[in-house]
Amino acid sequence: MTIKKARLWLCVILIGSLNVLKTYGFYVNITYLESAVDVGAVCLDGSPPAYHWDMGSGAGINNWLVHIEGGGWCNNVSTCLARKGTRLGSSNQMVEQVAFSGILHDQPIYNPDFYNWNKIKVRYCDGASFTGDVEKVDPKTNLHFRGARIFRAVIEDLLAKGMKNAENAILSGCSAGGLTSILHCDKFKAFFPTSTTVKCLADAGYFINSRDLFGNRRLEAFYDDVVKLHGSAKNLPSSCTSKMKNSLCFFPENVVQEIETPLFITNAAYDSWQIKNALAPGVVDPHGTWHNCKLDIEQCSSDQIVIIQEFRLEFLRALDGFFGTSAPRGMFINSCYAHCQTEIQETWFMSDSPMLSNKTIGEAVGDWFYDRSAFEEIDCPYPCDKTCHNRIFK
């Protein structure tokens, strides 16, 4: 279908200031993959999968960036039923256009290395980072757990539309989509001939098996449920599932050592999603002691900062095996309170974007992909980095 793009110039005037915050991007129409329904590659509610495609041009016509949307997971029938009625479980609930910015931008001043590539944003509607595959559908719930089929159907559709001729290809994603890009990295590469340069990029997808304030491994228990419900085990790396329980293979720290495809991770060491949902979720903070801290890291008490600093150290320890492979690796681990930085123009490539070693994330990823220079940087502890765009939640 023809991609219609409308320029988006959103200007938010800061009251009492002459500063203007601009979010630059453009809108891209949705493509519904109706043919996928025939092979059972469907969203939770049985609707077809979907993606948005900004076609490449010029020297980038044979380069492809496939970016996976994020959006958490569902771990039981109740949460999946709730999700089924939203864009994260049904393409019937998705908007017709989404804004592309950051790594998806089409202007060289905002995205110098990838602006003219074919850029695809794959919508996330299965609830298990595209790992599920259960044939049987309970007629009482009509829930379909078919994420792995969606991944294959979308990639095969793009191959048929020209990606088979790719000179360069990247699988990237944010949050649960970043985890997808790790878990499916080698599978993605296997779709291409050896002549294609294939690499993977995970943004905020390095979820660690941390303990919460009560000492419980909350995310591990959650992933136990996800893997069982969605039948994910057979689509997780066998090099991991052969050595440990299946749900542990949802954690990148247990699978990255065996990934053969070049991989770059960008992550905040103080990942706001993990601190809010894995370290200090409301269920372990009944009196709301952490409420203001989770909204704004600058509101954290000295005792809370000590705990958050320990989370950072635990995150860094989970990276210990990241370079235990011959495949070229890269990392940009800053000390910001953030989650997902490649999709947002202000944190991808702008004059005031977060930097490490005087490089933005966009520059670091570009240098790594094109082999101009290696990039393996870990930031100093909070609050040393003054380039951060720390999230402030309302």
- Residues with catalytic annotation? 175, 271, 339
* Token pair of 259 as six digits: 């990934």
| E strands in 61-210 | 63-68, 97-100, 118-122, 168-174, 197-203
- Containing 284, the helix (H) or strand (E) segment is none
Angle, CA of 328, 373 and 312, to the nearest 5°:
65
3-state SS assignment for residue 370 = coil
- Containing 356, the helix (H) or strand (E) segment is strand 355-356
* Token pair of 125 as six digits: 């509607």
3-state SS assignment for residue 269 = strand
Residue 304 phi, psi (nearest 5): -70, -35
**Cis omega (within 30 of 0) on the bond before 383?**
yes
What whole-number distance in Å separates Cα of residue 268 and Cα of residue 129? 20
- Beta strands at 20-32 and 97-100: parallel, antiparallel or unpaired: antiparallel
Q: Which amino acid is at 345?
A: Q
Judge whether 48 and 36 are in contact, CB under 8 Å. yes
In the block, tokens 């990237």 appear at 172
| Positive or negative: CA dihedral 235, 238, 244, 249 | negative
Angle, CA of 22, 24 and 29, to the nearest 5°:
140
Between the alpha carbon of residue 377 and those of residues 3, 116, 280, 359, 380, the distances in Å are: 38, 27, 27, 10, 10
